[in-house]
Amino acid sequence: MTSINHEFETRFKLWLDELDKFINNNITSTEPVFNQAQSRLINAGGKRIRSLLFLISSQADRNREELSNRLIEIAAAIEILHMATLVHDDIADQARLRRGEPSALDEFGSEPALFIGDYFLSKAYHLFFKNLSAESLKFLSSKLPEICAGQMSEFKNRYNYDITVRDYLKQVRRKTGLLFGVASYTGAIEAGFSKASSVHYYRYGLALGMAFQIQDDLLDILGDTETMGKPPLQDIRQGIYTLPVILLLEDNELKVRFIRLIESESYLKILELLENNQYLNQARKIEEQYFKRAAAELDYFVDDPAGDDLEFILNCQNNRRE
């Protein structure tokens, strides 16, 4: 997979460098802990998919604005907003690792991480206020409370053996899909597209984000610490039941066995149970449906200069194994 990563990084290198440069030069708090956290988190990596979706979409019009500071600042705000949600998720999940590095929770402690997340949120909002058009602001800000609802819903459903596929998909939509969708939509709006055209960018992002999250949840079951940057079966250990587990829980007999295995902390046996019963493949198929939905939207912008890049992003995500 290294070759895909390499191609990805080469293709978007200029933009990614501009983005990181802006975030690294924009470390401005009077509170040293906030600056350390910003520097640490931005340099811990990540593919910046959400920021890229915005930047690519913002270049979707042929008479486009050159990639300006304004657009870079919006893309940075999207990344900073995303970091805020990660920092708070890690507190709720007591996650000590993030992208293979100590999480903000681990490095700074629970209470500082709380305020670090708040700071990132307010910093992101400030950059949005400063740079986004009114239509984009209205759309973005109407979706943010729903993203919090997705995070809350995931936490509330921990150790819930009755969670349904529908609950899960709604959660994934809010927790991950929305921000992917918002990034793509606001990009298209900033490119000067109408709401009617931009909505296809929204749907593309939303479906891609959902596929991405389902895949991420699968990788948590199948991946190893080295490529994932966190121990495997982390979700199940924390009582977070994702798609393959939820499919398994629909079978009452297996449900009883699953609960017994959770109680005895027999995680390797849970893995066997999932593999022997094809639930991983079933989940993979649902993931594939969302990738297809995203691909279907590509037809709407086949003539836009952004089309190839968005197709490339989709294919990279579809093939990722980490």
Q: Is 130 in the site for a copy of itself (CB under 8 A)?
A: yes
Of 155 and 161, which has the nearer Cβ to a copy of itself? 155
Out of 129, 259, 260, 266, the residue judged to bind a copy of itself by CB under 8 A: 129
H/E segment holding residue 136 = helix 134-156
Of 116 and 294, which has the nearer Cβ to a copy of itself? 116
Q: Is 155 in the site for a copy of itself (CB under 8 A)?
A: yes
CB of residue 166 vs a copy of itself: minimum separation in angstroms? Answer: 13
Phi and psi at 317, nearest 5°, equal: -65, -40
Crossing angle of helices 178-190/69-93, nearest 10°? 170
Of residues 88-127, those binding a copy of itself (CB under 8 A): 88, 91-92, 111-112, 114-119, 121-123, 125-126
**What does the block give as tokens for 266?**
């027999």
Of 34 and 193, which has the nearer Cβ to a copy of itself? 34
Q: Is 29 in the site for a copy of itself (CB under 8 A)?
A: yes
Of residues 255-274, those binding a copy of itself (CB under 8 A): none
CB 92 within 8 Å of CB 155: yes
Q: What 3-state class would DSSP assign to 97?
A: strand
Out of 146, 275, 288, 311, the residue judged to bind a copy of itself by CB under 8 A: 146
Out of 137, 233, 286, 316, the residue judged to bind a copy of itself by CB under 8 A: 137
Q: What number of residues does the chain have?
A: 322
Of 60 and 189, which has the nearer Cβ to a copy of itself? 189
For 307, residues 6+ apart whose C-beta sits below 8 A from its C-beta are 298, 301
**DSSP label at 64?**
P
One-letter amino acid at 106 equals D
Could you tell me the CA-to-CA distances from 227 to 1, 30, 99, 290 in Å, in that order?
11, 36, 9, 24
The site that binds a copy of itself (CB under 8 A) totals a number of residues, namely 38
Q: What 3-state class would DSSP assign to 101?
A: strand
Q: Is 31 in the site for a copy of itself (CB under 8 A)?
A: yes
Q: Is 149 in the site for a copy of itself (CB under 8 A)?
A: yes
Of the candidate spans 9-17, 49-57, 142-150, 220-228, the one that interacts with a copy of itself by CB under 8 A turns out to be 142-150
Which residue is associated with the tokens 């990805």?
8
Crossing angle of helices 195-222/165-172, nearest 10°? 120
Of 29 and 160, which has the nearer Cβ to a copy of itself? 29
| Footprint of a copy of itself (CB under 8 A) | 29-31, 33-34, 88, 91-92, 111-112, 114-119, 121-123, 125-126, 129-130, 137-138, 141-142, 144-149, 151-153, 155-156
